[in-house]
Amino acid sequence: MEPEDPGVPAEGGMDAPEQEAGLDSTEMRTDEPNSVLDEQRESSPIPNNGPLGTEDGKADVQEELSETHEEISDKDLSDSASTDNTLEDSSEFSRPMVMADGSPGQEPVATQPRPITHRDEDVMAESWREHRKHVFVLSEAGKPIYSRYGNEEALSSTMGVMMALVSFIQSGDNSIRSIYSDDRKLVFVQQGPLVLVSVSQTLQTEQQLRQELLYVYHQIISMLTQASITRIFERKKNYDLRRLLTGSEKILDRLLNLVESDPCFLLSAVRCLPLPASLRDSLGSLLQKAITPNLVFSILVAQSQLVTTVQEKAVIEDCRLEPTDLHLLLNLIGATSAFQTGEIWTPICLPRFNPDCYFYAYISYLDADCTVCLILLSTDKESFYSVSDCKKRIEEGMRTQNYLQALSSGLKNPSYSVGLVGVPDLRHFMYKPLDIPDNYRQLPQFTSPELEGPYCSEHERHRLFDLYHYLHGRIHSASRPLRLIYHVAEKETLLAWVTSKFELYTCFSPLVTKAGAINVLTKLLRWIKKEEDRLFIRYPPKYSTTPNPGKGGKGARTDGAENGFFGGL
């Protein structure tokens, strides 16, 4: 699938052996919370003479003062920023109402009914402890970077304890992976200089929680790149990364809400907007025509669902767009209302494609309601005007052919009702085909009807996804994977089935029998087969922008690598 993708060190590369080692020996499973406390008490002094030590800090300041002069221009800004850094942060935090209000056009699931932002929460309160899932990000020096709930500042001692646990295990040449208590799982992921911790009461497996933490890590990378984060912390161990992430908390918050409620993250697949194949093809060829040198991906999205995507030929030969990258990109777009005003031109990293370099993303909405969004990714930072011109051509083409109208009629019902399948016992399903032609070059896709019936409230939706997570965990269990599970839950019956051709999760009413469920499955599979041209992108369009074949995908990527321009930080 990704044999020659150099941009995927996150999972496949260096960390894998370490994690495996951890699996064998250091898994801190415990049933008694007391022993956890003991661990904490034992190891808490460690950070004081370790990375948190003040001597280190002083040395680093000096180091920073004697920076090389080519970075002076950036330094100037950073230095001045550091003086008012706290003020700026606090202002960011004290503006929650504004930030929470201005987020139209998001999935309804993403917003929670709490009126004030999570950052104002009292971290000593019982309600804070009772959150279903906490996520923390900290630096190796134990500095807080992000907390899903509550202000990181107030949590610095908690994060200190987390770092103590990490470094305590590390001092024994090992790495901590997880701690199990009666009702919570604590999962640790270390990625370069960042430590990510999930504290969860959900039914998710350790592997799934780890995956979520990696999404968070990759989202941070998508804004800063791995190379610049590494460089920053090499230079200054106790750097406060929040300085660079100011204003981005919202993006991470949104991501964590989506991860819990949108199956695309669980399935690592993209949801396509159901469309007649002919319309999708015409839109694809429209994108294909509007190209310019160094443009590598053209992506058309409607309400966070993929309409079509076109890739530069030379690029897909050795690489493809990863669903993770697209999810993170769409999350970033969804979390920024500014995208709905002008044409956006921004550096962005696709962490799974290449975690160390930037693409330049051109983002613009094509309709007044800001539902149809065009994303053009270029490797040339100077190409704004030529890429913007591509958009004009696409816009013009869509107008003359009336595609926009055709699209928006498809958008009136952005998803479809499970009733279309025509079997009464079926409440919901998620289907991910594994036999798409040209599969290894394609974005993995899935389809799923909208949630109806009993799953209207957030609580019920969480319950259903908990069950899906549970089934997914069993199917993909490392030690004992299953192919078929028939699971009778309290309020519904679920069936999960994996073959070489598809991965399918279904939810039935509780009264269904095993034979009845199998019967429904047959009907469902027949329906999907009939609809597959509408539900999925079957044959992705390709093109070649390169008149001179010498400059292929590889060349394009080297270009990108040279643009690692957060150098001054």
Partner 1 sequence: MTQRRVQNMEVTTCLDAHSSKDSYVFKIVLLGSSSVGKSSLAYRYVKKDFRDSLPTVGCSFFTQTLRLDNSTIKLEIWDTAGQEKYHSVCHLYYRGANAAILVYDITKKESLEKAKVWLRELEKEFLQDEIIIVLVGNKVDLSPEREVTLQEAEDFANTKSMLYMETSAKTNHQVTELFTALAHELLKQRQQKEKSLHATHRKKSSIDLQESTFNSIKCCQK
Size of the site for partner 1 (CB under 8 A): 51
Restricted to residues 467-496, the positions that interact with partner 1 (CB under 8 A) are none
- Residue 214 CA to residue 232 CA, distance in Å, equals 20
Find the shortest distance in angstroms from Cβ 349 to partner 1: 11
Interface with partner 1 in residues 505-544 (CB under 8 A): none
Rounded to whole angstroms, what are the CA distances from 217 to 117, 145, 146, 474? 22, 11, 11, 25
357-383 in b/e form (b: 16+ CB < 10 A) is: bbbbbbbbbbbeebbbbbbbbbbbbeb
Q: Which of residues 59-78 bind partner 1 (CB under 8 A)?
A: 73-74, 76-78
Task: Tell me how far, at minimum, the Cβ of 400 lies from partner 1, in Å.
Answer: 22
Residues 217-246 that bind partner 1 (CB under 8 A): 223-224, 243-246
CB of 79 to partner 1, least distance (A): 9
Shortest approach of partner 1 to residue 376 CB, angstroms? 13
Site for partner 1 contains 309 (CB under 8 A): no
Task: Among 204, 308, 336, 354, indicate the residue that binds partner 1 (CB under 8 A).
Answer: 336
Are residues 204 and 213 in contact, defined by beta-carbon separation less than 8 angstroms?
no
**Structure tokens belonging to residue 477:** 């269990």
Q: Which stretch binds partner 1 (CB under 8 A): 92-100, 269-277, 416-424, 505-513?
A: 92-100
CB-side neighbour CA atoms (13 Å) of 390: 29
Does position 192 interact with partner 1 (CB under 8 A)? The reply is no
User: Regarding beta strands 305-312 and 542-543, do their DSSP bridges make them parallel or antiparallel, or are they unpaired?
Assistant: parallel
Shortest distance, position 247 Cβ to partner 1, whole Å: 3
DSSP 183: S
* Residue 484, strand partner residues: 497
Q: How far is the CB of 346 from partner 1 (least distance, A)?
A: 2
CA distances from 551 to 113, 313, 315, 401, 555 (A): 51, 11, 10, 34, 5
Q: Is 388 in the site for partner 1 (CB under 8 A)?
A: yes
Joined tokens for residue 339: 């995208």
Contacting range for partner 1; rule: CB under 8 A; set: 22-30, 346-354, 411-419, 509-517: 346-354
Q: Does 346 bind partner 1 (CB under 8 A)?
A: yes
Closest listed residue to residue 491, CA positions, set 505, 506, 504, 507: 507
36-44, 334-342, 432-440, 542-550 -> range binding partner 1 (CB under 8 A): 334-342
365 binds partner 1 (CB under 8 A): no
> For residue 297, what are its two tokens?
């991906």
Smallest distance from partner 1 to CB 58, Å: 23
CB-count burial class (<10 Å; 0-12, 13-18, 19+) for 427: buried
The answer to whether 491 touches 510, Cβ cutoff 8 Å, is: yes
In the complex with partner 1, the residue whose CB is nearer, 168 or 339, is 339
For partner 1, the closer of residues 99 and 258 by Cβ is: 99
For the record, the structure tokens of 512 come out as 């269904």
CB of 87 to partner 1, least distance (A): 5
Say how far apart CA 438 and CA 73 lie, in whole Å: 48
Regarding 368 and contact with partner 1 (CB under 8 A), the answer is no
Asked if 194 interacts with partner 1 (CB under 8 A), we say: no
> How far apart are alpha carbons 160 and 138 in whole angstroms?
9
Determine the 3-state secondary structure of 232 from DSSP: helix
Separation between Cα atoms, residue 350 and residue 489, nearest integer Å: 39
| Length of the chain, in residues | 569
Name which of residues 242 to 301 contact partner 1 (CB under 8 A).
243-248, 250
Q: Which of 25, 35, 48, 91 binds partner 1 (CB under 8 A)?
A: 91
Which residues from 99-118 bind partner 1, rule CB under 8 A?
A: 99, 101-103
Binding piece for partner 1, criterion CB under 8 A, among 8-16, 82-90, 260-268, 402-410? 82-90
Q: Which stretch binds partner 1 (CB under 8 A): 116-124, 149-157, 380-388, 441-449?
A: 380-388
CA distance 560 to 260: 33
Cβ 568 to partner 1, closest distance in Å?
Answer: 5
Cβ distance 432 to 498 under 8 Å?
no
Verify binding: residue 84, partner 1, rule CB under 8 A. yes
Is position 361 an interface residue for partner 1 (rule: CB under 8 A)?
yes
> Distance between CA atoms of 430 and 450, rounded to whole angstroms?
10
Among 13, 342, 453, 510, binds partner 1 (CB under 8 A): 342
Q: What's the CA dihedral at 252, 257, 262, 267 to 10 degrees?
A: 60
Q: CB neighbours (10 Å) of residue 387?
A: 24
Pick one of 338, 420, 434, 482: the residue that binds partner 1 (CB under 8 A).
338
Binding site for partner 1 (CB under 8 A): 73-74, 76-78, 80-81, 83-84, 87-88, 91-92, 95, 98-99, 101-103, 223-224, 243-248, 250, 332, 335-339, 341-348, 361, 381, 384, 388, 565-569
